[in-house]
């Protein structure tokens, strides 16, 4: 009888013990993406998911680390960038849920409006294919250039067919664009880098991308993991009212919930 009581007690204790949290490593660029993930992490913990945030300072390594198995997921990139990376590098990774739109914007330390840009003005843009095209589309939306029909999200400076002000397009690594503002007339800067430099795209930019942009960011995982239960938990933790409220209040319009 004593053994039965001890066995029963042990079973009850085992049933009462909380399930061990599942740990996943999620890559993100430093700044807003990582800050949002801190809120997601706290939210996901309620559902037994322990998110370890791994920060990167540029855009290439988070996908390389994910494809290599060093991460379970990443959260920092929009779909055109992801597609370009897959095409270029053959990664077997897929989007599983929308996150946040960080509108790209054009800033200047020398000029207050688009009309102030002089003939021959230099404008720096990201040198990666997707964000470079995104920047050219933004310049086109402001009437500064015209791109070849159909260039779209694959546009390059070679696709510029009209350039009335003879603008000089300077392609740079994304983290360098903010620093280039001392040397160029204007620069197209992604919001995460702009915010780090205390620039608000809503208040400080010459040109701001529309909220109806195709460049909403995504949670990305390896294809073989796409149907894992933790993926559903992670996406739900991100696409939640508490995260939406944080994005709206913390970034004052510089970031927009994309779900």
Q: Which residue shows structure tokens 């021959």?
A: 120
User: Rounded mean pLDDT of 96-107?
Assistant: 95
pLDDT of residue 253: 83
pLDDT of residue 213: 84
- pTM of the complete model: 0.76
Residue 24 DSSP SS3: strand
The angle at the Cα of 202, spanning 196 to 205, to the nearest 5 degrees, equals: 75
CB burial class (10 A; 0-12, 13-18, 19+) of residue 10? exposed
Q: What is the DSSP string of 48-96?
A: TEEEEEEEESSSSHHHHHHHHTS-SEEEEEEHHHHHHHHHHH---EEEE
pLDDT of residue 130: 86
pLDDT of residue 3: 54
Q: Which residue shows structure tokens 């010459």?
A: 206
CB-based contact 127:171 (threshold 8 Å): yes
pLDDT of residue 10: 52
User: Rounded mean pLDDT of 154-163?
Assistant: 97
Which helix (H) or strand (E) element contains residue 118?
none
Q: Please tell me the distance from the alpha carbon of residue 66 to that of residue 141, in angstroms, as a whole number.
A: 34
Which helix (H) or strand (E) element contains residue 50?
strand 49-56
Domains recognised in the chain with CATH numbers: 22-102+214-257 (3.40.190.10), 105-208 (3.40.190.10)
More confident residue, 94 or 213: 94
Q: Please tell me the distance from the alpha carbon of residue 180 to that of residue 175, in angstroms, as a whole number.
A: 10
pLDDT of residue 250: 94
Terminal C-alpha separation, the chain: 58
Q: Where is average pLDDT lowest: 34-38, 236-240, 250-254?
A: 250-254
CB-based contact 174:102 (threshold 8 Å): no
pLDDT digits (tens, 9 = 90+) for 196-243: 899 999 899 999 998 778 899 999 999 999 999 999 999 999 999 999
pLDDT of residue 35: 97
CA dihedral 143, 149, 150, 156 (to 10 degrees): -60
């Amino acid at each position: 009888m004593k053994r039965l009581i001890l066995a029963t007690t042990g079973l009850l204790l085992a049933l009462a013990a909380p399930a061990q949290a599942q740990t996943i490593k999620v890559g993100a660029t430093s700044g807003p993406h990582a800050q949002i993930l801190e809120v997601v992490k706290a939210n996901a913990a309620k559902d037994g998911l322990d998110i370890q945030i791994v920060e990167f300072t540029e855009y290439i390594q988070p996908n390389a680390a994910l494809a290599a198995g060093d991460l379970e997921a990443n959260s920092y990139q929009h779909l055109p960038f992801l597609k370009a990376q897959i095409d270029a590098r053959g990664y077997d990774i897929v989007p599983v849920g929308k996150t946040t739109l960080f509108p790209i914007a054009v800033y200047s330390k020398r000029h207050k409006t688009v009309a102030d840009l002089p003939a021959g003005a230099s404008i720096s843009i990201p040198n990666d294919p997707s964000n470079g095209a995104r920047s050219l589309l933004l310049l086109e939306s402001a009437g500064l250039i015209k791109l070849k029909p159909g260039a779209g999200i694959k546009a390059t400076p070679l696709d510029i067919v009209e350039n009335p002000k003879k603008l000089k397009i300077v392609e740079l690594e994304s983290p360098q664009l903010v620093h280039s503002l001392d040397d160029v007339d204007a620069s197209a800067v992604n919001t995460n880098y702009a915010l780090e430099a205390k620039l608000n795209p809503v208040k400080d930019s010459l040109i701001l991308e529309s909220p109806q942009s195709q460049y909403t960011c995504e949670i990305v995982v390896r294809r073989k993991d796409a149907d894992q239960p933790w993926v559903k938990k992670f996406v739900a933790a991100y696409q939640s009212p508490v995260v939406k409220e944080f994005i709206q209040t913390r970034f004052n319009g510089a970031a927009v919930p994309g779900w």
